[in-house]
Structure 1
Amino acid sequence: MKKIFLLMFTSLLALVISGCNDNKQEQNKKVLKVGMELAYPPFEMSQKDGTPSGISVDFAKALGASLGKEVVIENIAWDGLIPSLKTGKIDLIISSMTITDERKKTIDFSVPYAQSSLAILANKNSGIKSIKDLNVAGKTVAVKKGSTGHIYAKDYLKNATVLVFDKEAACVIEVVQGKADGFIYDQLTIYKNYAKNMDTTVPLLASFQDSPEYWGVAIKKDNPLKKEVDAFIAKAKEDGTFETFANKYLSDAKKTFDKLGIPFFF
């Protein structure tokens, strides 16, 4: 009798555990974990109370709504984003990430949703007028670790001294204080930091690359979610979703870019 009772109890316990696992799996299916570094306004940032906000946050929420999933934003340091994607801690990266051949070796990307080019924030007294002026012995360039500006400096600025920092703000301070001659980053960031430091910096916004950089949503290799993300991006471009983001967060910058004849993000 005890054996029968034990067998019945074991079977019931297995059913309960199985049910809990099924519920957990079902719950996970309804949640979309999106990783981003909340340190790049107006794309990725946080409000005073810590609530994530910005273009990428709005983008993630719109994507989640179209997929019928609740979006959870995971604030992760830049160099931890791709490892977090690979290990399954997050489902996607939407963090103004440039699509590169090197990154595509280990992760997949959606179709591009935005484009940008590198630019230079130069110290006003540096004499820097072009990228060639930075590639000179004695010149110092600041870059953010892991960014495409960092990659560009390693590949093409062999004669300059390259200072690598974890944060964008640290790079800007180096230029403002004259410790670095220039900071290489995307055009919008350069424009915004110049607007805050007009007395000490000069923005060189014209692209010095052969072709623009394209941003994409990063996805784990061979994840079928890529097709759904691609479809959403195509639709969002057609129905004006991205234009709405630009008007909400980037109206002043867009006017400046249009005036200078520089292609805008969306």
Structure 2
Amino acid sequence: MRKRIAMILAAVLLIGSLGGCASSKSSSENEEGSSSKDTLKVAMDLKFPPFSGTDENGEPEGLEVDIAYALGEYLDRDIEIINTDFSMLITALETGEADVVISDMAVKEERKEKVDFSDPYRYGRTLALVNKDFAQENNITNDMSPEEFFSIEGERIVGLSGTISVSVPQSYGAQVEEVTEIASALMEINQNTADVLVGANTILGDHAANPDTTIVYEGIKEYSQSAMAVKKGNTELLEQLNAFIQTMYEDGGFYMEAGDKYDDAIGEYLQDDSKGLEYLIYPPKGGTPEV
């Protein structure tokens, strides 16, 4: 009888032990699941300071990085930065490697077929680098309408194939000489063998490098919109992103504080000290969004 009782007790203890192990494993799995759920994986290309780069210790830093961490605070979620080449950002969403892209991704129709975009949080101007002699001869100022600007008699426009430097002038009915290297286009403007080169914010830097031979025309209406991207159909996260972006612009919001930190760095990046964070976070007045 004693042996039988001992065997029963041993069996009960064994079952209890196994039940405890199963419970512990299940608890561990829940904790892991919770941790995974609470961590928001943000993909960005860390090669574009001061917006997204790395510090001397290889840690992510920059405006986009700070936006990601601010988003994490807003959602009460941990943030994991996934350093991803720009060409692979959408793939990272599709494969689940990332939950959201925050990497100055411009909203384009072909991209909208693959991802869902949030409201815009950054904007890119469309500018023109103009040969200074040509500008003076034709009295070009920023008050000149783009329709008038792109219809100057004898105007020679050069543009990089497949970019806005071709598509924007053509949208106004202008003829464009297409090139495959931006360096050759810049050389033509500086050497007065071409008159106009359309581009994005980098045009400011091109002018700063050649102030004696160029001016910048800022009257073009088109502008790009940069937004956060999520996997197609992730409406819950998309709504959260839009709510967060709205707070960024409010008094006391992210952008109010970020200006103090990034104005100088952005002015240096644009090679124009008169332009800071506000130049990038608001669309030009009366402008037309590009998609």
Normalised to the residue count of structure 1, the TM-score between the two structures is: 0.69
- Residue 46 of structure 1, CA deviation: 2.1
Q: Tell me the residue number matched to 1:186.
A: 200
| Residues 47 and 205 of structure 1: CA distance in aligned 2, closer, same or farther (over 3 Å) | farther
Query: Identity of counterpart residues, as a percentage?
Result: 25
- Asked if structure 2 preserves the Cα contact closer than 8 Å seen for 1:190 and 1:203, the reply is no
Q: Is 1:265 equivalent to 2:276 in the alignment? A: no
| Residues 199 and 225 of structure 1: CA distance in aligned 2, closer, same or farther (over 3 Å) | same
Q: Is 1:232 equivalent to 2:244 in the alignment? A: yes
Gaps of 5+ in 1: 165-170
- Out of 137, 148, 160, the position equivalent to 2:177 is 160
Q: Is 1:221 equivalent to 2:232 in the alignment? A: yes
Q: Tell me the residue number matched to 1:246.
A: 259
- Residue 199 of structure 1, CA deviation: 5.7
Whose Rg is larger? Answer: 2
Q: Which residues of 2 match residues 126-205 of structure 1 at below 5 A?
A: 132=150, 141-142=159-160, 149=164, 152=167, 159-163=176-180, 171=182, 185-187=199-201, 189-192=202-205, 194-195=207-208, 197-198=209-210, 202=214, 204=216
Count of paired positions: 243
Q: Which residues of 2 match residues 24-39 of structure 1 at below 5 A?
A: 24-39=32-47
Counterpart CA distance in 2 for 1:161 and 1:86 is 34
- Residue 120 of structure 1, CA deviation: 4.0
Partner of 1:215, secondary structure, is strand
Counterpart CA distance in 2 for 1:114 and 1:185 is 17
| Residues 22 and 202 of structure 1: CA distance in aligned 2, closer, same or farther (over 3 Å) | farther
Amino acid at match of 2:67: F
- Asked if structure 2 preserves the Cα contact closer than 8 Å seen for 1:31 and 1:71, the reply is yes
Partner of 2:180, secondary structure, is strand
Amino acid at match of 1:249: Y
Stretch moving more, 155-164 or 86-95: 155-164
| Residues 232 and 198 of structure 1: CA distance in aligned 2, closer, same or farther (over 3 Å) | same
- Asked if structure 1 preserves the Cα contact closer than 8 Å seen for 2:52 and 2:65, the reply is yes
| Residues 99 and 51 of structure 1: CA distance in aligned 2, closer, same or farther (over 3 Å) | same
- Out of 72, 83, 94, the position equivalent to 2:102 is 94
- Asked if structure 2 preserves the Cα contact closer than 8 Å seen for 1:64 and 1:71, the reply is yes
Amino acid at match of 1:115: Y
| Residues 16 and 161 of structure 1: CA distance in aligned 2, closer, same or farther (over 3 Å) | farther
Amino acid at match of 1:42: P
Q: Is 1:256 equivalent to 2:274 in the alignment? A: yes
Counterpart CA distance in 1 for 2:43 and 2:133 is 37
Counterpart CA distance in 1 for 2:34 and 2:68 is 20
Q: Is 1:43 equivalent to 2:51 in the alignment? A: yes
Stretch moving more, 239-248 or 104-113: 239-248
Counterpart CA distance in 2 for 1:154 and 1:15 is 67
| Residues 202 and 75 of structure 1: CA distance in aligned 2, closer, same or farther (over 3 Å) | farther
Backbone CA RMSD of aligned residues: 4.4
Q: Is 1:77 equivalent to 2:89 in the alignment? A: no
Stretch moving more, 178-187 or 79-88: 178-187
Counterpart CA distance in 2 for 1:150 and 1:13 is 65
CA displacement 1:95-122 (0-9 Å, x = unmatched): 1112222211121111122322222456
- Residue 73 of structure 1, CA deviation: 1.4
Q: Is 1:61 equivalent to 2:69 in the alignment? A: yes
Normalised to the residue count of structure 2, the TM-score between the two structures is: 0.64
- Asked if structure 1 preserves the Cα contact closer than 8 Å seen for 2:41 and 2:81, the reply is yes
Partner of 2:123, secondary structure, is strand
Q: Is 1:206 equivalent to 2:223 in the alignment? A: no
- Residue 190 of structure 1, CA deviation: 3.0
Amino acid at match of 1:41: P
- Residue 67 of structure 1, CA deviation: 1.0
Amino acid at match of 1:232: F
